[in-house]
Amino acid sequence: MPRIYDSASNPIDFCKSCFPKETIAEKLYGNPQKTGLAPDERGNCFSYKEDHPEYDAVDYNCEICNKKLTYRDD
């Protein structure tokens, strides 16, 4: 946790405090009219609470507050 894939299957990472509830996340990131569909025609690829790399091993920032993600956000 906390990673979301939008409807086009793009990964979006959040710190624990900014991670949205599933209903809000689906409205923001699961709408193909806003974020598109997967390029390989799999349809709407929105998914919630997906696996991600260990944040200490990579350089990711929170989508909302732009804080560098650390092991505390895993």
The pLDDT tens digits for 22-61 are 999 999 999 888 888 887 778 889 999 999 989 988 999 9
Mean pLDDT over residues 64-73, rounded?
A: 94
Q: Reply yes or no on whether the pLDDT at 1 is more than 80.
A: no
Quick check: 46 and 7 in contact, CB under 8 A? Answer: yes
β partners of residue 11 = 5
Q: pLDDT value at position 5? A: 94
Q: Taking the model in full, what pTM does it have? A: 0.85
Q: pLDDT value at position 29? A: 93
Here the tokens at position 72 are: 């505390």
